[in-house]
Amino acid sequence: MNNEKEIQTLKNQVNSLVYQLLKINKLLARMTTQLDLQEVRQLIAENLRILESLRSLPPHPAPPIRQSQDAKNC
């Protein structure tokens, strides 16, 4: 159960990063004002905070690879 919660949290963080990167891309494409630049800086700073929190998580061992029935019969 705890593992599922961690996975969902990571998915949410990644989705947030993707959304913000798309938003940054749109702002950069039409950037004309100082306010746009300030918003881009804020989004980048938030992305960096999220990435730092992801980096500080302990590594999880990879789940065992499931072999197909065909591979087991070889």
Tens-place pLDDT, residues 16-32: 888 888 888 888 888 77
Domains: count for the chain: 1
pLDDT level of residue 61 (50, 70, 90 thresholds)? low
- How far apart are the C-alpha atoms of 16 and 10, rounded to whole Å? 10
- Summarize the confidence of residues 57-70 as an average pLDDT: 66
Work out the burial of residue 70: count CB atoms within 10 Å of its CB; fewer than 13 is exposed, 13-18 middle, 19 or more buried: exposed
Residue 44's domain comprises: 23-58
In-domain check, residue 65: no
What integer pLDDT is reported at residue 62 of this predicted model? 63
* Mean pLDDT of all residues in 21-49: 85
Domain-embedded: residue 39: yes
Residue 67, pLDDT above cutoff 70: no
Asked, for residue 11, whether it belongs to a domain, the answer is no
Is the residue at 14 inside a domain?
Answer: no
Q: Give pLDDT, residue 53.
A: 84
Claim: this prediction has a pTM higher than 0.85: no
Task: Give the rounded distance of the alpha carbon of 63 from its chain centre.
Answer: 20
Q: What are the CA-CA distances from residue 27 to residues 20, 24, 32, 61, 70 (Å)?
A: 10, 5, 9, 38, 51
